[in-house]
Amino acid sequence: MTAMPPAQEPPTSTPPAPPVSLAALLGRKDLGLRLLAGPADAAVHWVHTSEMADPYPYLLGGELLMTAGVQLPDPAHYVERVVAAGAAALGFGVAPVYDTVPAALVAACERHGLPLLEVPPQTPFTAVARAVWRLMAEARHRELRRVTEAQQSLAVAAARPAPVPAVLGALASRLGGSAVLYAADGTPYAAAGRELPGTVSRALMELAGVVGHRPGGPATASGEGEGLRLAAYALGGGDGLTLGVATESREPGDHTIAGVAVVLLSLLTAPHRGADVSARDTALVRLLLGAEVEEASRSLGPGPWTVVHARGGDGTPFAAPSLGAALGTALVDAGGGSTAGGAPGSADAAETGSTRPDGTPVSVRLLLPASSPVTAQPGWTLGVSAPVEAGDLAVGDAQAARALRRAEATRTDLVRHRPAGFGGLMDGTEATAYARTLLAPIGEPLTETLRTWLSLHGNWDRTAVALDIHRNTVRQRITRCATLLAMDLDDADVRMELWFALGRL
């Protein structure tokens, strides 16, 4: 049995997509693949074709290496190099060079335990590669659905009368193992799931003692005990609580699911939670479950509130919770979705890290009392709304989103929504009616393009960055706006009038 504080795990060269079992690939009858040597349970991360005599320098590990044996002077040495490179399996095409797979190659693969597939003449290597990518896509879809369902289950558990044991029970059920919450002194605070053997229980407790909130200390740790996978996570409430998890296996989405549980447990166990904080927690959970803004605002209180949009972090699953803890709120929405009212904390939240599976940054949204200070955070770009009442969360959400786009376009760490200024002195009803009439000829996406372009002082490049479109598209849209509005957008007075009007929509 081992339980080790994980030092930094070495970077892996395999992609984030779930690997494909070789058995699943062999099960594709249309490919006609045949296993000649080695086990069928190898995990394939990608497909690579090479006719090099020594493919070692060109392999990253985890590949199904495809070859027709164009250069195969010494099969034994060839297999040794492929195994040394970490390839998952070898696929050998029996045409056009060889009529059958060389016996020496089969023997070498059997000796080294390298799976060897015979690829029939009618099956192109590209067909095998396409089958692997499809199987990967199917596996990724299943994993995303499992994570989403687990998040919903945990959120529902957090809204129950006894939320802490309910969240632990939901986590243990979803991961098929045990979940234990440890107090600051290392003693079990609450537990759910399967009962652990004594040695495993002690190992998990020791692992939980490794993580904590001391400066420089790890936020997570992992190990093994009697065939079980162990993991420990520090909660963000500042009171030293730690979550320990023991499972029979470790699936790609387990870390994300555990991260959601950590966020909820940090929220539920936060010390010195006053009545106003509890009310906010209740409202946020209701928003997370998809409640309408008006319904949730009854628990939220009148406010005022501040909405924060952020993008960045260090790519770890705990980047978003760490940001929430730094800014004073434990529940975050990192899914980039919104409720029907556009409020933060939606049921579409799907990630707790700061990047999606395709590597693109995730937008994190937080809801804070307006009295809470919002300062720049290392590694994050923030957009902050003006203070809004509970019924105007959708307005604050839009303000924060625009502020974030401006921050990204200007490469600024933090941008706050600016109040109306002189525009606020005008009669609101008349100004809104005039703005709608003035801007009636244009619609989305022209309106948003014009708004962003004006906010960035007519800079084409920054507008393109903020809207994630090509600068030529920006030029075309602004030209179209000038034509439809019959206005000279080079005129400063016209720009000012349009800016005021856009602020009234």
Return the number of other C-beta atoms located less than 10 Å from residue 159's C-beta.
16
CB within 8 A of 152, min separation 6: which ones?
347
> Residue for token digits 């401006």?
406
pTM of the model: 0.52
pLDDT for the residue 351: 36
CB within 8 A of 356, min separation 6: which ones?
362
pLDDT for the residue 4: 40
52: left (phi over 0), alpha (psi -120 to 50) or beta: beta
Q: How far is CA 309 from CA 329, 385, 405, in A?
A: 13, 8, 9
pLDDT tens per residue, the chain (505 residues)? 444 433 333 334 444 567 889 999 999 999 999 999 999 989 999 899 999 999 998 888 899 999 999 999 899 999 999 999 999 999 999 988 999 999 999 999 999 999 999 999 999 999 999 999 999 888 888 888 888 888 888 888 887 878 888 999 999 999 989 999 988 878 888 889 888 888 888 888 888 888 865 555 677 888 888 888 998 888 875 567 889 999 988 887 888 888 888 888 887 776 544 445 555 656 665 555 555 656 666 666 667 888 888 888 766 655 776 777 777 765 555 544 333 233 333 333 333 344 444 445 566 888 888 888 888 888 889 999 988 887 787 788 888 888 898 888 888 899 998 776 666 556 667 778 888 889 999 988 899 999 999 999 899 999 998 888 898 999 999 999 999 999 999 888 889 889 888 877 7
Q: Which amino acid is at 300?
A: L
How far is Cα 501 from Cα 430, in angstroms, rounded to an integer? 11
Residue 277 burial (10 A CB sphere; 0-12, 13-18, 19+)? middle
The C-alpha angle with vertex 416 and arms to 413 and 418, in degrees rounded to 5, equals: 145
Which tokens belong to 405? Answer: 């786009």
Domains of the chain: 20-134 (3.40.1390.20), 160-268 (3.30.450.30), 288-419 (no CATH), 423-502 (1.10.10.2840)
Q: Which amino acid is at 165?
A: P
> Residue for token digits 């790609």?
252
Return the number of other C-beta atoms located less than 10 Å from residue 265's C-beta.
28
Which of 136, 134, 129, 130 minimizes the C-alpha distance to 50?
129
